Amino acid sequence: MSATLVLAIIVAIGVVAFVIGRQRAVAQRDGAAKSHSLPSYHGWWAFLLATVPAILFLLVWALGSNLYADNLIGSQLPANISTGERSLALGMIDRTAQALGALEIHNADALPKTYAELIPQASQVGVLLASQGQDYMLPIALSVNETALFLGRLGGGIAIILALAGAAIGLSMVQPRARARNNVERIMLWALFGASGIAIATTIGIVLSMLSETMTFFSEVNPMNFFFGTVWDPRFAAAGSGGSEGQFGLIPLLAGTLYIALVSMLVAVPVGLMSAIYMGEYASPQVRSIVKPVLELLAGIPTIVYGIFAAVTLGPFLRDLSAALAGGTGFIQAQSVFTAGFVMGVMLIPLVSSLSDDVITAVPRAMRDGSLGLGATRSETIKRVILPAALPGIVGALLLTASRAIGETMIVVLAAGVAARLTLNPFEAMTTITVKIVNQLTGDLEFNSPQTLVAFALGLTLFVITLGMNVFALWIVRRYREQYE
């Protein structure tokens, strides 16, 4: 019994409990006793009692089943397998179990004689197996599937019984004075609290995972050389070589990140802010209803498309244009800070425009009318009243936009290159922290080598920078927003 089928049955039981509970609550509203809750609340309480405990049990059962399957595989592995080969063997057995399930092999009689015979059969059903597999993995994988099938049926049956029991309890609680509304609202409150907790726990988990690997990196590389180094030369070492040579200077990457972000902001801020002023103060409702959605279409374009445009069209065009102006070798490279910043700025225009427009339109109408009533023109009202009133929100929007620019990757890879250098010339290539994170985590490298662990140090640095900018932007908005409400 698949988990999807069990989940569908549980939801169906909940829906039936909702309908019956609501109808029963309606039938009991005879006017003799005042009802505490509306009929729909009684139905929702029956639905929640039927579904929530059963679904939670399914999640716990699935987790326990996976742990039991891992222990079962580990207990059947040959004793001569080393610790380093153990995790690889576990993964290969799990993949073999998937292949046997896809081939619908559920007994030892249909099991292939050797692992090599299973490889072409598995490829026909879309499961690719490693050629290094051993024959002993076949019976272990079969036992894993048999155990998983038994545990799935047992867990599904228990979950359905729990759903039926919950529905029966919920329907038995339908009474005119039953506090179904309080129960439903309490469950929803805990659900909202859990959703917030998941977001917070995810953020903490990301930080802790990066922090642990960063500390390992700093145990091999001096933090002073990382934060204040001006040379980025990690000198990739092949897996197994144990090489840890190289220079991991952050300054060139940080300079490139801030430089490209600055150029993008110089493009996005004027255009986005002026378009926001036009749509908020000058455009008619008909024009606004057309211009605003069209402008925000830019936000829906994937960043890889912007990067391809920069690498294929804009970069070569600027290079050829500079060559024509110089009468020889062009002074603008195809991959440059200017190219990446310009394209990224175009991508950020909708963000600046949308956030600024919301801030400008939130300025009270009385401030506009008061300024116009005193004889000020519309442009003077915008310059001396509306923009000062909306300035805290606009500054917060710009800081949020800057943090978005700092975290961009694909446009920089294609439009600015991967050269880590220090230069003030915007027409030369530079790179950013995000690009080097991708480079360091790809390739034939040992995970515990400094060349790989430096990616976590770069990620944590970037996280701190963007977090600081976001917190500062939110502080500005909250600090000054109430002055104009």
Predicted local confidence at residue 269, as pLDDT? 92
Report whether pLDDT(128) > 80: no
Alpha helices in 219-250 (DSSP H): 223-228
Give tens-digit pLDDT for 40-79: 898 999 999 999 999 999 999 988 888 887 787 777 777 7
Predicted local confidence at residue 262, as pLDDT? 93
Q: Other CB atoms closer than 10 Å to residue 434's CB: what's the count?
A: 20
Mean pLDDT score, 178-194: 90
Half-sphere exposure of 306 (CA within 13 A, CB side): 24
Predicted local confidence at residue 245, as pLDDT? 55
DSSP string of 95-111?
HHHHHHHHTT--SGGGS
Predicted local confidence at residue 242, as pLDDT? 42
Confidence of residue 327 (pLDDT cuts 50, 70, 90): confident
3-state secondary structure of 252: helix
Give tens-digit pLDDT for 211-248: 988 998 888 888 888 998 888 888 754 444 444 456 88
Report whether pLDDT(292) > 50: yes
Predicted local confidence at residue 241, as pLDDT? 41
Predicted local confidence at residue 68, as pLDDT? 83
436 touches 257 (CB < 8 A)? no
Q: Other CB atoms closer than 10 Å to residue 379's CB: what's the count?
A: 11
Chain-centroid distance of CA 377 in Å reads 46
Which residues make Cβ contacts (< 8 Å) with residue 107, sequence separation at least 6?
142
Q: What letter does residue 113 receive in the DSSP assignment? A: S
Q: Pick the more confident residue, 124 or 338.
A: 338
How many angstroms separate the first and last alpha carbons of the chain?
Answer: 58
Mean pLDDT score, 363-368: 86
Predicted local confidence at residue 1, as pLDDT? 62
Q: What is the CA radius of gyration of the chain?
A: 31
Mean pLDDT score, 88-110: 78
Which range of 143-147, 268-272, 283-287 scores highest in mean pLDDT? It is: 268-272
Quote the CA–CA distance of 445 and 457 in Å, as a whole number.
Answer: 17
Question: Of all residues in the chain, what percent carry a pLDDT higher than 90?
Answer: 21
3-state secondary structure of 445: coil
pTM of the entire predicted model: 0.70
Confidence of residue 135 (pLDDT cuts 50, 70, 90): confident
Taken as a whole, the chain contains a residue count of 485
Which residues make Cβ contacts (< 8 Å) with residue 206, sequence separation at least 6?
463
Q: What letter does residue 230 receive in the DSSP assignment? A: -
Q: Other CB atoms closer than 10 Å to residue 327's CB: what's the count?
A: 7
